[in-house]
């Protein structure tokens, strides 16, 4: 079926580019992807998929870094004004913008999942003739939201794969799950979908990303390495205000507690079994130079080459933060804002993906591996599938870039979209028909 898959993917080129540009123009950030997700849900339903959304695929208690209720309501109304499908969007109230399309085929076989992320970055997009989306009229109209990581292309590719597979449904076996995940930026969204059990029955899961380390169109790496497990944490210190000149002894200085924590967090011992990282990226507090500060905030992230290493760094961080608060007579409240697991690709699944890529002859260079050098939310899905005895892999698809990821001038080469559709659809067909 390789030739048929390729023809189908090529026939979707114009539609896929149009979808990508539409998602780019109406960029939506984490947990506010009401328009994007509702279009995805409606499209999947029209193709014959069983569509699960909202509470069906997102566990509220596991959502991290969610905007305020007022902000979610504001973004919901904006999405409706910009063409969201109202019935589907309503199911996603509260930021539960995950979507899963399920198609069960006539013959018994494995459950295969493909995961796609949908959210944009918190970023102001560049303007002017130098920037193609601006020049050609599809730059983001939503101030402070921009697709600067390629997720617009991922979403459009995922819908292309859905259409290709739907056209082959009479010849496939088992079940396919197309997972459209919100809130990848800040690694916030996958955990809530995993907690809802969306991949508990999955035998194979494949994720993919445009660009990152592969910056030439025509390249592909069927194995991604360098995943770092991570935890994102906000710590709010509460002290006691007092006159800094008249009664300093009556105060409890929250900024000193935050500063003590900051210095000692960066003194956590490195781990002997792999890479470990910690960073305090934000420290805020105080109201005036003559007031003992009653509140302070630090924003922290830990990372590790494995989940176990990250857990070690995170555990030490919590201990230090609590001790620093106690040292200065303050209290502290901590809130998880994001996280991702450490993960390895399964060699057997990688080999099968490589065979599909070689057969299709759509890529000019098949690399042995690509290094992501950071954290990626898909690892929560991958880790759960592996824990249940299944296999997981993450593919990197090359594309020329106008600027680096998370840059206001970011733009992808849309010629990379069709090979991405063909490869992911081909991998799904390979796994569904051969088990």
Output the 3-class SS for the chain: CHHHHHHHHHHCHHHHHHHHHHHHHCCCCCCCCHHHHHHHHHHHHHCCCEEEEHHHCCCHHHCCCCCCHHHHHHHHHHHHHCCCCHHHHHHCHHHCCCEEEEEECCEEEEEEEEEEECCCEECCCCCCCCCHHHHCCCCCCCCCEECCCCHHHHHHHHHHHHHHHHHCHHHCEEEEEEEEECCCCCCCCHHHHHHCCCCCCCCEEEEEEECCCCCCCCEEECCEEEECEEEEEEEEEECECCECCCCHHHCECHHHHHHHHHHHHCCCCCCCCCCEEEEEEEEEECCCCCECCCEEEEEEEEEECCHHHHHHHHHHHHHHHHHHHHHCCCEEEEEEEEEECCCCCCHHHHHHHHHHHHHHCCCCEEECCEEEEECCCHHHHHHHHHHCCCEEEEEEECCCECCCCCCCCCCECHHHHHHHHHHHHHHHHHHHHHC
Radius of gyration of the chain (CA): 23
Which tokens in the block code for residue 215? 């910056």
Is residue 430 annotated as part of the catalytic site, yes or no?
no
Sign of CA dihedral 155, 157, 161, 166: positive
Give the N- to C-terminal CA distance of the chain in Å, as an integer: 16
Q: Which of 33, 125, 163, 185 is catalytic?
A: 185
The answer to whether 20 touches 417, Cβ cutoff 8 Å, is: yes
Is residue 90 annotated as part of the catalytic site, yes or no?
no
The answer to whether 34 touches 151, Cβ cutoff 8 Å, is: no
CA 227 – CA 224 distance, rounded (Å): 8
Q: Which of 117, 354, 411, 430 is catalytic?
A: 117
CA 259 – CA 283 distance, rounded (Å): 8
The answer to whether 304 touches 275, Cβ cutoff 8 Å, is: yes
CA 114 – CA 208 distance, rounded (Å): 9
Residues marked active site are found at 117, 185
């Amino acid at each position: 079926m390789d030739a048929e898959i390729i023809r189908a993917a090529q026939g979707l080129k114009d539609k896929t580019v149009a979808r990508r540009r539409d998602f780019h123009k109406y960029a939506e950030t984490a947990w506010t992807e009401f328009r994007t997700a509702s279009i995805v849900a409606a499209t999947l339903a029209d193709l014959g998929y069983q569509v699960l959304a909202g509470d069906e695929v997102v566990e509220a208690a596991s959502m991290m870094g969610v905007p305020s209720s007022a902000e979610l309501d504001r973004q919901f109304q904006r999405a409706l004004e910009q063409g969201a499908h109202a019935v589907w969007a309503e199911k996603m109230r509260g930021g539960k913008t995950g979507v899963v399309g399920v198609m069960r085929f006539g013959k018994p076989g494995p459950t295969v999942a493909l995961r796609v992320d949908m959210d944009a970055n918190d970023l102001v997009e560049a303007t002017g003739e130098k920037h193609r989306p601006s020049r050609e009229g599809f730059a983001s109209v939503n101030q402070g939201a921009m697709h600067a990581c390629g997720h617009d292309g991922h979403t459009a590719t995922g819908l292309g794969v859905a259409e290709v597979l739907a056209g082959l449904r009479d010849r496939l076996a088992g079940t396919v799950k197309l997972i459209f995940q919100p809130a990848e930026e800040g690694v916030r969204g996958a955990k809530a979908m995993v907690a809802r059990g969306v991949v508990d029955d999955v035998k194979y899961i494949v994720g993919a990303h445009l660009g990152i380390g592969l910056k030439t169109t025509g390249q592909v790496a069927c194995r991604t390495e360098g995943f770092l497990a991570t935890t994102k944490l906000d710590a709010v210190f509460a002290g006691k205000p007092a006159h800094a000149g008249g009664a300093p002894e009556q105060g409890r200085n929250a900024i000193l507690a935050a500063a003590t924590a900051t210095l000692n967090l960066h003194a956590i011992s490195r781990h002997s079994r792999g890479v470990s990282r910690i960073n305090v990226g934000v420290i805020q507090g105080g109201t005036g130079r003559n007031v003992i500060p009653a509140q302070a905030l630090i924003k922290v992230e830990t990372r590790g080459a494995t989940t176990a290493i990250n857990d070690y760094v995170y555990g030490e961080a919590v201990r230090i933060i609590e001790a620093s608060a106690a040292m200065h007579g303050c209290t502290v409240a901590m809130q998880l804002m994001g996280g991702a697991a450490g993960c390895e690709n399964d060699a057997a699944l990688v080999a099968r993906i490589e065979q599909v890529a070689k057969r299709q002859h759509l890529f000019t260079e098949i690399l042995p591996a690509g290094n992501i050098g950071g954290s990626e939310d898909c690892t929560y899905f991958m880790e759960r599938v592996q824990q249940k005895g299944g296999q997981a892999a993450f593919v990197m698809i090359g594309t020329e870039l106008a600027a680096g990821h998370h840059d206001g001038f970011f733009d992808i080469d849309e010629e990379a979209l069709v090979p991405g559709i063909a490869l992911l659809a081909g991998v799904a067909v390979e796994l569904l028909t051969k088990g």
